[in-house]
Chains A and B, each alone.
Chain A
């Protein structure tokens, strides 16, 4: 990904667009389903920038793009999450204090933490770098390899990616069953398989359409959509959650409250 080009584009727009020193940015209203940062200004619906090879340029600092409080917010209107009874039972038994994210553990996929993140590339690799919860990364193999037959169960799983037109498709298996999809505690099993489809709809919006397939917890595959918003003048900063996490010992009650 051409970071230099992206930074030139961004700096060219910075003065006009955002987080100006003299005026607060306009506040966006949530665009589409799901959690969207209200911290970022409205950006013009100019087309997504492209790399010299014609692919959309996904570089930049993003905010959101996955569930935070409630996975169901990403569903099409009228749909319900097809929880199996066993998964519903797990969800109802969960306590808010046990949410891995509250304990400074990773969000897994597709949950996002309310902190900025960005893509970074190396030959045959794509990385997602997260500022918050936790200050970690996902590795996506873009070299055409397949998933291993027996991946170690991990928080972010084993990811392989490819382009379908203007959409980056990330296919992930090999998850552990430890992370929650949201504050409400939507569960999953190690059979979870996610397909994320990232499309930079316009300059400021990255749409993430996620298909969740987990026959251990859900009756059928279902798809949720969340938008990430660009923070055009944003920068990644250090965030070490474990530094002084006093919250857990004071959190009360069942999962489910926002």
Chain B
């Protein structure tokens, strides 16, 4: 789909589409960069969530939740829920939750085929 090829450019220009204050939930001074395997996708409003199992150096696995754009925002630039599937190996950058839980706002998502997209808004 041609739209997908320009998706990253379009998403780069999207405003912080959120129904809540970004900085009240995520720490813009706490960037995260994690890699792991997708365990679950919630293609829901008001935001999508995807969960990945992240293994640390000791082999311990923690499940992280990444918040993204609303489904409508992603749909408008050509992405549907088949963007991710359980079992996909992905890398994500974003910002950690302020409450210390294993949650983050997602920004750049690198898919298992190497393609990079913005799955969430920039920090403001």
Contact = CB atoms under 8 A, between A and B. Distances in A.
B81 to A, nearest CB: 13
Contact of B98 (A132, A241, A253): A253
Given A239-B72, A247-B46, A114 B2 contact: no
User: Which of B3, B10, B72 counts the most chain A CB atoms within 10 A?
Assistant: B72
Contacts of B23: 257-258
A60 B90 CA distance: 39
Interface string B1-37: 0110010011001111111111111000000000000
Contacts of A251: 20-21, 24-25
A22 interface: yes
A241 B72 CA distance: 12
A131 B72 contact: yes
User: Which of B20, B65, B97 counts the most chain A CB atoms within 10 A?
Assistant: B20
B107 interface: no
A240 B25 contact: no
Interface residues of B, number: 36
Contact of A252 (B15, B45, B98): B98
B20 A247 contact: yes
Contacts of B15: 35, 37-39, 114
B124 interface: yes
Contacts of A131: 72
A22 B2 contact: yes
B19 A132 contact: yes
Contacts, number: 118
B19 to A, nearest CB: 5
B11 to A, nearest CB: 9
B70 interface: yes
B85 interface: no
A253 B24 contact: yes
What is the predominant secondary structure among interface residues of chain A facing chain B?
loop
A49 B94 CA distance: 43
A243 B44 contact: yes
B49 interface: yes
Contacts of A247: 19-20, 25, 46-47, 67
A257 B72 contact: no
B57 interface: no
Contacts of B124: 258
A101 to B, nearest CB: 5
Interface in A7-23: 21-23
B82 interface: no
Interface string B34-73: 0000000010111101000000000000000101001010
B121 to A, nearest CB: 10
A102 B16 CA distance: 14
Interface string A233-250: 010011111011111101
Contacts of A243: 44-46
14 contacts: A24-B6, A38-B14, A99-B20, A102-B20, A132-B70, A133-B19, A238-B72, A244-B46, A244-B49, A245-B45, A250-B97, A250-B99, A255-B24, A258-B22
Interface of B: 2-3, 6, 9-10, 13-25, 42, 44-47, 49, 65, 67, 70, 72, 75-76, 97-99, 101, 103, 124
Given A22-B2, A183-B21, A251-B20, 12 more contacts: A38-B15, A39-B10, A102-B19, A115-B17, A183-B24, A237-B75, A243-B46, A244-B45, A245-B45, A252-B24, A252-B99, A258-B21
